[in-house]
Each structure stands twice: as structure tokens, then as C-alpha cells.
Chain A
Amino acid sequence: MKLEKKIFEIVFHARGGQGAKTAAELLAQAALAEGKFVQAFPDFGPERTGAPMKTFVRVSAEPILTHEPVVDPDMVVILDETLLGTIEVTKNLDENEAMIVNTTSDREAVRQKTGYAGNVYPIDATGLSLEIVGEPRPNTAILGKMVKISEIVKLENLVDVFREKYTGKIGSEKTEKNIRAIEEAYDSL
């Protein structure tokens, strides 16, 4: 999958507090660093920890004019597998598009739960971040998988942006661990 369409559109499904907005903004900053045009914005609702929420990203080689929410995504990213089967995550997602799910289940199990017969990419992002970072931060790890599948930004640019934004905030040791989680997710099968 490549940036073939004029504008590549992503919907993140998560629960409040899981960092979907942070992930979307990191992706946007990495795309910006490549000279691309971006939008990153949550589906605005009352922000409550644990409540289902959506956030959107657009990446484009051309300026983006529209301000509508993403209604026809090219990729859906699900940060919390308990959302599967409870909210509609496959709307307008064609079979040649992609769904990335943070889960310990396999592809077939996700397909059964969602009824989506297209490209499903399961990744245990929570497990990876617990193992490498020591904290459940699936939002950063899953970016590695997203970038691998979508190719909308280069992994090195994502990593550079993460390092630049987070070293001051969480220290270099934790930053480098998060980066390792991103890279392992990128390399995972």
C-alpha cells in the first residue's frame, strides 16, 4: 500500500487516554518534516478517560482544502481491541484498504469479530511496549506498524520527530525505549 490517492486518510479508534491524538499528531509532524500537507484532529466530543473516541489524520502531497471529518478512510487503526464488535470500525473501509489492530488475537479472529474480510494487520502493541518500555503505551508502538503498511512517511522521519518532541518530556532513556518499540513493531511480521 502506498500513498497513491491524492489524500491518504486514516481513522484511529481508541479509548480516551490511550494516546490516539498523540499518535495522530506524531504522524502529522513526521509527514510535515517530509514537506507533505497534513491534518490531524479528533472527532470532538466530551473527552472522558476510557470512553470510545476517534481521531483523524490526512496526509497529502497537495494542500488539503476540506475540513470534513474522515468519512471514507484508507486505513483504520484500532488501539483497543475491546472496541471490536462494539462500535462500527469498518465503515467505508474497502477490502483493498487496511485495518491495523492492537491485539493478541490473530488475523482470522479479528476478521470474525469485525466482519472485515480485507487486509487485517494484528499487532500486540501493548505487549511490545510493556516488554520494551515497561509501560502500556500502544499508541507509539503501533505507529511502527502503520508506517510499514501505509508507507505514508519514512520510519526514520517518524523516529526523528519522536526523539525531538519527547526527549525533553520523558528523558532520553524512555524515549529510546519507545523508539525501539516503534522499530520492533515496524519489523514485526
Chain B
Amino acid sequence: MINKNKNLALTGGAAAAEALKQINPDVMPVYPITPQTPIIETFAKFVADGEADTEMIEVESEHSAMSAAVGAQAAGVRAMTASSSQGILLMAEILPIAAGMRLPILMLVSARAISAPINIHCDHQDVMFVRDSGWIQIFSENAQEVYDNVFISLRLAEKVRLPAMVIMDGFTTSHSVENIEILENSAARSFVSEYQMKNSLLDFENPKTFGPVSLPNSYFEFKRQQIEAMDGVIGEIGGIFEEFRNISERTYDIFEEYKIDDAERVIVVAGSTAGTAKSAVDELREQGEKVGLLKIKLFRPFPHKQIAEALKNVKKIAVLDRTVSFGSQAPLYMEILNSLSKLHITNYKLQSFIYGLGGREILKEDIKKVFVGLEKDEAEGIRYIGLK
């Protein structure tokens, strides 16, 4: 039988709230209306029941939610929030401020489509819209990864002093019940430990200024420091994964290689569709087809060098984006193209696919067709999965 305290069946949103409860952040400013998720309502119940003593601040908009998180975090405490879709877009003005002020705010995102037309379903347009805001972005395949990524990302954010988004697929993960195994409270708490901010606004012995005017004689250097901080993520995250493995027995890396060692055809995809793709890979492998999957986890910073290394022997690659860049190529495709360009080889085929916009379903059979299309060398250019 299972351990009822550790093995749970929860939605991805509730799994995130479970992690937040164990972390017990100091401040959580929230704007709990649509487009929101089970994260806030589940966590608010924990606070109301006395299971967490976080100060929840109900604000008047998502813009204010992120502004309040900036204020709280600058004051020297752990501030977190959750959002989605239009909410992220309304926050967009404040997101680079959090990053520029080097505040390790954690945000749980249920990735969803953006308007117009109005649509509340899953795709990755909201998080891709803010991909250059200076936040770390990490994708989750399922509820377990959501839970685990909350801990890993918090440690990472605080280590490099940058804000981080833990991204789960809206509805497909945020509202779906799946098995998860949670940490013991003591292990969870010692993993994140007590927060000691390095430069806090309320350190009266060593007064600091946050977000001052910085003219052409200094602004560029601030940005350069931010670039270096982001570049430092990949060096730091390995040790955090290792520590997490020690307490959870779950192994993670900056991306996941699934049966790609001898693969001739590989799909690259982020989020819950990676799970569907794994089941497609398994079935095709049973028929002797040499196919594999590279699952994106860390999207910002993007591990170009490491991914190039992982894909260097693959002849045919399909990149599946759940977003679009109007007038250009989709973002994940561009990152993979960029990665492969470092190999100075040309005899590979790289195909861009757009799928699942506005929650359009993506089936295992669709994934299999992508592999078949790669085998047959179908025409170049962006292809669309499931478009009517």
C-alpha cells in the first residue's frame, strides 16, 4: 500500500499550492479572478486553515500583484504569486523591473492563450510574450514536475538573484489530477532553508537604493550584470538538481533526453505534450523505429551548447511550438536552429511545427504523424498540427 502522507493525486495547480505550503512564503499578492487557476484558491485555503502563515494581499490587478511582490521582495522577504494569460500581459511592465532589481520572486504560471479572440485554454503564447523580460523560465511536463520545479526554481532564483517562472500547461496540467509524491515537511523546509536576502531595502545598517535613475553612463553596465547573472544559471542549477535528488530520489537536468541515443528522428517539445510524445516514442520503438524526444525544461536561459551536443548525431529533427511569432519563425524552433548552428554541420533536417493554439487538442497519433512526416522528408516551411 501507499504512504497516504506522501503519495497524493492532485491537480498541477494544487501540487504547486502544496509546495508553496511547505515553503511558507512571507508574502503572496494575488488577483484571484479569471484567468486564475486552482493555485491561488488552494493556497488561500491553506492560509485560512492556519497551515501557512503567508500574508496574502488581495490587490486590484495583476499589475499591482507583481508591483506588490517587487515591494515585498525588495524589503527582504520571500514574495510569490501566480498568474496566467492576460494576467501575465498586464504584469508585463513590472516583470523586467523585478529582474532588473535582481529580486528572486517566484511566479507559478499556467500557460494559456492570449486575446483576441478570447480563449482561456492552453498554449504557450503568454510565457513566450515575456520571454525577454529577464526571468528564468522552466517548463513542467506534469504535476510532479510542477511540485518539484517550485523547490528547484526557488533555490535557483535566490542563488543567482533573478526572478523565476515555473510554467505548467494551463488546464492540461493545472486542472488535471495526477499522482504526485511530496517531500517530508522537514526535508522540504531544510532544502529551501530560511531566507536571508543579500541586499535588502530594510537593512538599515547598510542602506541600499533599488531602481534609481541610471543614465547612459551606467545603464548598460546594469544590463551586462543581468546578462551575466542569467548566464550563471546553468552553472548553478546542476548542484541544486543534485541536492534535490538526494532528498527526493528524482533526477532532473536542464532538458530531458528520451531515447535519443541511437535516434534518427527526434521531436523537441516543452510542457505536457512531452508526456504524450513519450508514449508515441514508446509505441514506435516497439515497432523498431529509431525515434526519440528532447524535452525542453529550462527555456530561459536556453542551453544552446548542451542541446547542440545532445542533437549532434540526429539527422531529422521536428520542433513543436505551442505558440507563434507572427512574421517570423516560432521561438523554440529558433532556439534549436541557433543551437545547431554551433555545430557547423549542414546535413540535418530541421522542421518547424505549430500545434495546440488556444487549447486545440494534440493526440498521440498527431505526434506519430510528425515522425512519419520526418521519415518521408515532407516539404519545408512551417507545418501546422491539427489545423482545420
Contacts and interface: CB of A to CB of B under 8 A. Distances in A.
Interface of A: 24-25, 28-29, 31-35, 37-42, 44, 63-69, 71
A40 B175 CA distance: 9
Interface string B1-34: 1101001110000000000000000000000000
Contacts of B76: none
A32 B276 contact: no
Given A28-B9, A33-B2, A67-B142, A38 B276 contact: no
A32 B182 CA distance: 14
B279 interface: yes
Interface of B: 1-2, 4, 7-9, 121, 142, 169, 171-173, 175-179, 272-273, 275-276, 278-279, 282, 359, 361-364
A32 B180 CA distance: 10
21 contacts: A25-B9, A25-B177, A32-B9, A33-B2, A33-B4, A34-B2, A38-B9, A39-B176, A39-B177, A40-B177, A41-B171, A44-B171, A44-B359, A65-B275, A65-B278, A66-B276, A66-B364, A67-B142, A67-B173, A68-B361, A69-B361
B363 A68 contact: yes
Contacts of A29: 9
A38 B177 contact: yes
B337 to A, nearest CB: 26
Can you list the 9 inter-chain pairs with the closest CB atoms, starting with the nearest? A41-B176, A40-B177, A67-B272, A66-B279, A32-B9, A65-B278, A65-B275, A44-B171, A65-B279
A27 B18 CA distance: 21
A41 to B, nearest CB: 4
A61 to B, nearest CB: 12
* Chain A CB within 10 A, most for which of B9, B121, B172, B359: B9
A35 B172 CA distance: 23
B9 A67 contact: no
A96 B97 CA distance: 60
Nearest to B359: A44
A68 B278 contact: no
Contacts of A37: 179
Contacts of B9: 25, 28-29, 31-32, 38, 40
A71 to B, nearest CB: 6
B276 A39 contact: no
Given A29-B9, A32-B8, A35-B2, A67 B175 contact: no
Contact of B362 (A33, A34, A68): A68
Given A35-B1, A35-B2, A41-B176, A67 B275 contact: yes
A33 B4 CA distance: 8
Contacts of B173: 67
A109 B152 CA distance: 56
A27 B178 CA distance: 12
A129 B278 CA distance: 42
Contact of A39 (B8, B178, B273): B178
Nearest to B143: A39
A39 B179 CA distance: 7
